């Protein structure tokens, strides 16, 4: 009989800058890569397009997210209070980069139906659904 045990790791807020995004995970990547499902909370938007920014957060280059693939993430929740900080370009580009790199985004979308769509990850013949909601605002998010 095969072992159907699934290992799930989840971490909190992730903010990656472009200077060397893999380095953020150097000490933990071996552990994270051993997980079947690895979930992180993406705290900020990523875009190179002109976008509105706030006083506290600015959008980063989407290539900064390559640290996520290096560390083995396969699901990123995007319901943080800063996700709307770069407006539509930030959401579009963040979602596109994640999808292009086989990382399931969850909790944000270009409309409410997309935002509510669960990430479904199948490992070892077991499907796991992940939802992500923000109940503290701001209202636009």
At 24-52, the pLDDT tens digits run 999 999 999 999 999 999 999 999 887 66
Number of domains in the chain: 1
Contact 79, 68 (CB under 8 A): no
What residue numbers bound the domain in which 31 lies?
A: 8-117
For the ranges 18-22, 50-54, 87-91, 121-125, which has the lowest average pLDDT? 50-54
Q: What is the pLDDT of residues 9-31, one digit of tens each?
A: 999 999 998 789 999 999 999 99
Residue 113 lies in a domain: yes
pTM of the model: 0.90
Q: Does some domain include residue 76? A: yes
Residue 102 lies in a domain: yes
In a domain, 3, yes or no: no
Instruction: Tell me if 72 is assigned to some domain.
Output: yes
pLDDT tier for residue 1 given thresholds of 50, 70 and 90? very low
Q: Which residues pair with 119 in a beta bridge?
A: 130
Q: Quick check: is 126 in a domain? A: no
């Amino acid at each position: 009989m095969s072992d159907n045990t699934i290992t799930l790791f989840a971490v909190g807020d992730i903010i990656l800058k472009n200077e060397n995004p893999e380095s953020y995970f150097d000490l933990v990547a071996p552990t994270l890569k051993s997980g079947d499902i690895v979930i992180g909370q993406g705290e900020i938007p990523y875009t190179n397009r002109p976008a509105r920014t706030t006083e506290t957060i600015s959008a980063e280059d989407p290539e900064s997210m390559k640290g996520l693939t290096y560390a083995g993430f396969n699901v990123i929740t995007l319901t943080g209070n800063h996700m709307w900080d770069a407006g539509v370009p930030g959401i579009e580009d963040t979602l596109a980069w994640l999808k292009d790199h086989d990382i399931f985004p969850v909790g944000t979308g270009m409309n409410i139906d997309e935002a509510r769509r669960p990430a479904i990850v199948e490992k070892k013949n077991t499907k796991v659904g992940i939802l992500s909601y923000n109940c503290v605002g701001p209202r636009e998010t």
